Chain A
């Protein structure tokens, strides 16, 4: 046994190459890969000049859990449409410890389906440990994609921070040029403020920092992680966006020239199409497609022959039911629609003022009477 394990370890190094080139590496944008590092994926409907996009999201009516998905999916749509950056977005909320929050999952997968990738390297071949998945998204720097990553956490020992030592691993993550802090957001997001070229980093920084929770904690943002960071935990809700999620979406919205203000800029809004089998992003529980969850997209090039921009033409979110023997786990479907929670203080204040005016008014009327 021991000998076999030892042999396999060496074997893995030698043959760990068979990722399909069409989707071998997830980057900050989907479709960015070894040799296509500059590639940006845009939401369905973008043609290179469209000013305003509406992307429909629906639930396959024949899907398991179709009715239970309605509220979480609508919440996820609202959150993406709000494009509001938040901190402290890692919560237990109302998610039982042993269950996975479908709303958080939907938020993540819909992000993929509108073109966003992972800020971290994630579950790619050759990444040795689960902790190593939190290194910033990159290629392995080898055209043959042999999985020979350079993974050094630097002097702080924290994976994903600005002092990581990554050798020839080519960065795919768009960082904020002024501070390389993924927990902040520039007022204008385009190639003048964000870059993936490491020569644009602040002077003392070695690599692009990502928005992993441990990086956030190190920078003073407790319980914060961007939604697109790969990795969902049971018993945890992550239902609002991080700064980096918003930045990446807005970077794409700067269009083909990657500069805000051109005729190729666009805005994007998601719309809920209900329970129907046909729309831009179809959500479906399908155990044949995934053992947990995935976003599967097809796209076409917008800038042939450069091929640095892709418009998604179809997208499916597939989720596993977790009910098959050998792959059994539980989903939690948040039943609380956004906007229907207990009013926050400002609303109560308005209500109190209204009650006060009504009370005074009644007294005045009585005196007059």
Chain B
């Protein structure tokens, strides 16, 4: 299936965070690239969602949703910055 991008994470991430995280700046722990989560590459399948760095393709995050649970792993993100105010 053709990939999409991090804009599509806005809905799933709302299960975990109370504000829109797609404009947050994340740092890839693989190559050090920084950018909004909306700029990541997103691969979806029936098994779940894989978020990859658009620079080095490293897996940044994985999401799995079932009827009664939502799970997120953030194995490839070394820092997240959000605006205050």
Same complex for A and B? Answer: no
Chain A residues engaging chain B, CB cutoff 8 angstroms: none
Report B's interface with A, CB cutoff 8 A. none
